[in-house]
Amino acid sequence: MISNIFTLIGQISIFQYVYALFTSLYTSAFRSSKKPRDFGKWAIVTGATDGIGKAMAIELYKHGLNLMIIGRNKGKLSNTALEMRNLQIYPEPEIKEVVMDFSDPSGYDQLNEEIKKLDDIGILVNNAGVGYPYPQYFDELDVSLINEIIDVNIRGVFMMTKMVYGKMKEQRRGAILCIGSGFSELTSAPLYSIYASSKKAIQNFCNNLQIESSAYNIVVQCQILFIVMTKLSKMKKETLFVIPPQKMAQESIRELCKGGLIWSTICPYWAHKLQLIFANLIPTFIWNSLILWKLRSIRDRALKKKVA
């Protein structure tokens, strides 16, 4: 009797993930697409000085959107803007650079004033984020890092979304894209407890806001990414599962622009979808042991390098 119950539970779990894979791949292949400009004339990208944020800004610029790029380093922001202008898109979209450190809430009033000047805001990309330098136990974390993760990863997303949502609601169109993390969707992520929790909070926020916003033709998505070749990941070699930010940006925008059924949480890159589904098929007690062993070994190597 008990063995039959466990068999049934296992079959239901397998069906659940196979169904998720099928529906995700089906909608990726067959949904009709919009163009980024169908959401509006302006796109706002946070954390646009490096990595995914910079790649997203450049990709949206290529589609002819005006860009407000936000980052905490003025020099890097200017480099991103210059790189976009050198693409020589015609007619040339506008670019506005705004310096903002999301760990310092005193800058929100000025940022809000800049956003109010924009008409027809179409896309917001909440990309700015803070992570761990390497896997760490909870009690090893500096309080300053915990506060920074909360300020940037959570409060920053809430505040940016609040600033644009009213305009999108009036326009009855728009898209809000939050860059998530695979850690929030895995069975567990020990040694990344605060970071994973911050990303899970944003995922839950997107799930709820998508229900509220659907009546106003506003798309809200939390896109789950695994390893991308950025400074944060420290990965330099492209593989099937590790891709450059430029490719990730293309996949993200393509997924955001697909019509039909809207998923509030989705992996835009197909290989990352497979990673997530198969990782979550591993029984919890096995996964917990494996991930703890793996992340602890990465932590130990990082500490040795720190001492050396």
Give residue-wise pLDDT tens across range 174-189: 999 999 999 999 999 9
Q: Which residues are catalytic?
A: 195
Q: What are 233's two structure tokens?
A: 């990941």
307 pLDDT more than 90 = no
Q: For residue 3, is pLDDT > 60?
A: no
Domain boundaries, the chain: 31-307
What is the per-residue pLDDT for 38?
A: 96
Going by their DSSP bridges, the two strands 218-223 and 66-71 should be labelled as unpaired
Please report the pLDDT score of residue 106 as a whole number.
Answer: 95
Mean pLDDT of 213-222: 96
Q: Which pLDDT belongs to residue 233?
A: 78
The neighbour count for residue 302, using CB atoms within 10 Å, is 15
Is the per-residue pLDDT at 158 higher than 70?
yes
pLDDT band, very low/low/confident/very high, at 23 (cuts 50, 70, 90): low
Average pLDDT of the chain?
A: 90
pLDDT tens per residue across span 90-142:
899 999 999 999 999 999 999 999 999 999 999 999 999 999 999 999 999 99
Look at residue 298 and tell me whether its pLDDT is greater than 90. Answer: yes
Tell me which of 198 and 234 has the higher pLDDT: 198
Mean pLDDT score, 62-91: 96
Q: Is the pLDDT of residue 62 over 80?
A: yes
Q: Which fold has domain 31-307?
A: Rossmann fold (3.40.50)
In tens, the pLDDT along 238-251 reads 999 999 999 999 99
Kindly provide the residue ranges of all beta strands, DSSP E only, lying in the chain, ordered along the sequence. Answer: 42-46, 66-71, 95-99, 121-126, 174-179, 218-223, 265-266
Mean of the pLDDT values across residues 262-279?
91
For 145, half-sphere exposure in the C-beta direction (CA atoms, 13 angstrom radius) is 17
What is the rounded CA–CA span in Å between residue 308 and residue 288? 30
DSSP 176: E
The residues near 247 (Cβ < 8 Å, ≥ 6 apart) are 269
Overall average pLDDT of the 150-162 stretch: 98
pLDDT at 16 over 80: no
For 53, half-sphere exposure in the C-beta direction (CA atoms, 13 angstrom radius) is 27
> Which of 27-31, 32-36, 226-230, 232-236 has the largest mean confidence?
226-230
Closest CA to 199 of 225, 220, 164: 225
270 pLDDT above the threshold of 50: yes
Residues 194-203, mean pLDDT to the nearest whole number: 98
